[in-house]
Chain A
Amino acid sequence: MKILFVIFLSLLSLFSIKKEEATIQIKCMLQMIDYRGEGAYFVISVVDANDNYLKTLYVMGNDKTWFSDMKAFWQHLRANELLTDERFYPLIDGISGATISGGQRRIFPLKIPVELLNKGNRLRFETAVEDKGYHTEDVALDLNQTALGKNHQGSGFIQQIKFLLPES
């Protein structure tokens, strides 16, 4: 009886943790530089101080063929067998046209788990354009309130990134 109760409690706590995973939703605007060529593939992830991937927040580009161009991310996918992971796929931006190319910009929401915030982690923007190159850290910023309050210049295909924090 006691054991059953313990199991019940632990199950309950498991569900509640899964349900209650607290996130903050911020808005992000990404402006591309005025390059010529294909649309860019990019992935936004949270990495820790040692560059380990903690969470994938957003992937743009829906043709798997080109994921391998984002080399660091691809390695992570392969190492953790995430390419076949159902949970990974809803993250892929299914917007038609999918990628954005030179000079364009896109606005989208980012849901960041609160537990990753202010822990010395970084928000990494990885970009690749076929035959134009790859940038492991086109933009990288500390994942804290101060850094999210600023604008960030990119070093590759991204010209600028701006955030809007939730009004509270």
Chain B
Amino acid sequence: MIAGLWRNIHFLLAITASLFLIIAALSGAILGLEAAWDTTRPQAISLNEISLGEAKQKIEAQFEEVYEIELNSKGFLLVQGSAKNSYGSFYVDPKDGRILGKVKKPSIFFQFVRSLHRSLFLKETGRILMSFVSFLTVLLVFSGLFLMRNRMGSFLKLYTPINDPNFHRKNHIILGRWFWPLVLIVGVTGTYLGLDRLGAFTFQAGKVEKYIAGETNINLNEIPLNELEKLVYPFGNAPEEQFDLILKDRTIRFQQVDLSLIQIKLKPWSKHLQHLSYILHTGEGSLVLALLLTLTGCALIYFIFSGLKIAAKSSWALLRSTNKIQTTPLMILYGSETGNTYGFAKLLKKRLKKEGYATHLVSMNRFRIHDNTQMLIILTATYGDGEAPANASLFISQFNRQSPKNDIDYAVLGFGSRSYPKFCQYAIAVDTMLEQHPKCNSLMPLFKINKQEERSYQHWETLLLNAIQSKSPTIIRFKRNLLF
């Protein structure tokens, strides 16, 4: 039951989120490339060897006037001010203060993509939507992990080899177990950043230390440049105008004449958390992280694509179980986790119909013995560590609680993989139970199929048809025309 629960949760979450998730993943992948590209520009150098004081001096020599020196999250040194009679924001070489170029308007394309990624151009509504999608992504990671645990038997076996004949499902699982930490990071930070932008958290103020002017002086040469966030210059020469130095962990205000401290304001932890989330989510300043994030975006798109492929086979069919069960003397029962066994059951129904037998398909959990029940063909997979598939888990206990009126002929076909030690374990359990049941007679011995081998199935089908015909040629005249 639990296995089916996680599958349904995972599936419903994915369907809800998929449209927005595709947009978020695709735009995210592009923005990751932008961040990666930014780190490869030659301006990025190690800034811990240069002090703020040195850099400030050199920059001031190159500019007519400086208003602001900023080290942005991409690792570029930006100066706002005027040089050569032109005001603007300039990239500057931290070693010699040389102007490298004027900051241009951000590319319209990336701005478009960024706006799409953040808010779908819907402003607050879009922000809320995208935050919610991020949150759904987090839930998808967890439901996916539980789904993998059920499949592999336990969390400890998560990284053991998997055998799955279905190309997309195999890759869905393989990519899932490598990418879940990254998807989780993107989801959690995305949710946090979205909520933060929407003002969901209240920031507590940082601790403030006040100083008496002229007593303690600040030495800018002792501050490494990579500590810098922004240095805002005083406005004019008036003594009440001061420097504001924003560092990674505190904001310092000092006088412009004697560089004496006025106050130090420590950054609250919530600001640090915000910064960390931003860096983790955008990959700004780190080539490896930015590329990993782009890959995560691509992986997410593949998850959706392959997920839909898998769902087309199983989840829709497994969810859709509300229709009333019709009963026929000959019933086909299936226990299917991923939809493969269900597929074979449908195949068998078609074949039997062609031979003139009216049958109905029902999952093992939903089957009830009726007065007209005469023959059961049971197809079941085994899931996880020798356990029943989700829609077959109640079969044995339910069957034993009912008392059939007539004798029942049965045949069991098990699906599984020989690479697991408990090959077809659940089919064996069902077969054993029926064998010991006083009212049940074996039509043919238990048959096991390794990895859904088509030829084994064909072989079994022929054996089955012969058995049905020879065993009860007269009783089971389930010819369609007689029934209707």
Contacts and interface: CB of A to CB of B under 8 A. Distances in A.
A63 B72 contact: no
Given A65-B121, A95-B103, A106-B80, 18 more contacts: A29-B235, A36-B199, A36-B202, A38-B197, A63-B111, A65-B115, A65-B123, A92-B105, A94-B89, A94-B103, A94-B104, A94-B106, A96-B78, A107-B232, A107-B235, A108-B80, A130-B123, A130-B124
B306 interface: no
Indicate the member of A104, A106, A107, A162 with the most B CB atoms within 10 Å.
Answer: A107
Interface string A94-112: 1111000000111111000
A164 B67 CA distance: 13
B87 A108 contact: yes
B265 to A, nearest CB: 10
B159 interface: no
B124 A97 contact: no
Contacts of B115: 63, 65
B105 A94 contact: yes
B415 to A, nearest CB: 54
Interface string B67-88: 1101010000010101000011
Contacts of A97: 70, 72
A96 B68 CA distance: 13
A131 B235 CA distance: 31
Interface in A106-139: 106-109, 130-131
Contacts of B431: none
B87 A109 contact: yes
Interface of A: 27, 29, 36-38, 62-63, 65-66, 92, 94-97, 104-109, 130-131, 162, 164
Contacts of A63: 111, 115
Interface in B36-87: 67-68, 70, 72, 78, 80, 82, 87
B203 interface: yes
B106 A96 contact: yes
In the A-B complex, the 10 residue pairs with the smallest Cβ-Cβ separation, listed nearest first, are: A94-B105, A29-B235, A107-B67, A95-B89, A131-B124, A109-B87, A164-B236, A96-B103, A37-B199, A107-B235
A157 B163 CA distance: 61
Indicate the member of A66, A97, A109, A162 with the most B CB atoms within 10 Å.
Answer: A97
Interface in B342-387: none
B68 A107 contact: yes
B87 A105 contact: no
A107 B123 CA distance: 29
Interface in B87-128: 87-89, 103-106, 111, 115, 121, 123-124
B82 A109 contact: yes
A3 to B, nearest CB: 41
Contacts of A130: 123-124
Chain B binding site: helix, strand, loop or mixed by DSSP? mixed
Nearest to A25: B87
A38 B198 CA distance: 9
B412 to A, nearest CB: 62
A130 B119 CA distance: 12
Contacts of A94: 88-89, 103-106
Contact of A106 (B67, B104, B106): B67
B399 interface: no
B233 interface: yes
A66 B108 CA distance: 15
Contacts of B104: 94
A8 B103 CA distance: 40
A107 B87 CA distance: 11
Contacts of B197: 37-38
Given A65-B121, A130-B123, A131-B124, A95 B235 contact: no
Contacts of A92: 105
B43 to A, nearest CB: 13
B409 interface: no
Given A65-B123, A95-B80, A107 B72 contact: no
B89 to A, nearest CB: 4
A68 to B, nearest CB: 9
Contact of B233 (A37, A104, A107, A109): A107
Contacts of A107: 67-68, 80, 232-233, 235
A37 B72 CA distance: 19
A106 B88 CA distance: 12
Contacts of A36: 199, 202-203
Indicate the member of B82, B87, B89, B105 with the most A CB atoms within 10 Å.
Answer: B105
A124 B105 CA distance: 25
A62 B105 CA distance: 8
Contacts of A62: 105-106, 111
A92 B106 CA distance: 12
B71 to A, nearest CB: 12
Contacts of B123: 65-66, 130-131
B419 to A, nearest CB: 54
B111 A162 contact: no
